[in-house]
Structure 1
Amino acid sequence: MDEEREDRPSFGGASVGDLVQWEAGGALQFEAPKRVRFVSEDGKWIGVEGSQTGIPMSEVIVEQKGTAQPPVIPFEKPGVALTAGESEWMRNKVGNDTNVRLLVEGEMGPKEIGKLIKLLQAQKAVLEDDDNEEAAN
């Protein structure tokens, strides 16, 4: 009986950088394990390389634990290529018809994020000034 339990896969527990398989309805969904790109904040969903589909953590089998520093896997939009040394650091929807894609070349740490925040605040102020000028005319 214990041998049967050892043969059954354990579901969940995936982290960024792990190689995982997805089992849904009793069938494996990937030809080969895929690397985890992100884990949702609540830990219930993951995303894997080459896909924008969320996968339930409860259907994930960890095939191989990742390294301490998982690779940065660029998430390219069809028709939009990254330049050499560039990686997609973040992609978010910020409005009904507005999406943001942050491409980075080099390291991105707290210092760089702080500078980016200052740049975005300055850009916001410029756009607010433009809106105020248009409203005055």
Structure 2
Amino acid sequence: MKRTSLDDADCPIARALDVIGDWWSLLIVRDAFFGLRRFGEFQKSLGLAKNILTVRLKSLVANGILEAVPAADGSAYREYVLTPKGRALFPVLVALRQWGAKHQFPDQLCRIELIDREKGEPVPMLELRAADGRRLTPADTMIRIRT
């Protein structure tokens, strides 16, 4: 079944999901943050069929999330590296990770922690703050459509 494109939707969430909304794409980006660069590394990490991985990598490159570059070791292989647009997904992945650790492990502690490399401490929960520093909840926000 062909998926409807959301690339011209008014909603920025819909447009973002059009680019990175399937789980394989987000897991590829996650692995790229972990330092994976080669097709075989992604395939081994994800256990993903080669044809599906190929399609997802091409889409991430076409959408400016990853860039295919010559291999660092000078071989004929290509490597995939995050672009600035791809690196900007870091807070999205952290938010998903924190949500999953809190809500998808109800009876146990999630064994995987995100650690501040400099301090060696767990990264605190993300919070949405107003310009004046107040913590914002959904009730504190609204959508405004500019004309």
- Which structure has more relative contact order (CA 8 Å, sep 6+)? It is 1
Q: Which structure shows the higher helix fraction?
A: 2
Q: Which structure's CA Rg is the greater one?
A: 1
TM-score by length of 2: 0.27
TM-score by length of 1: 0.28
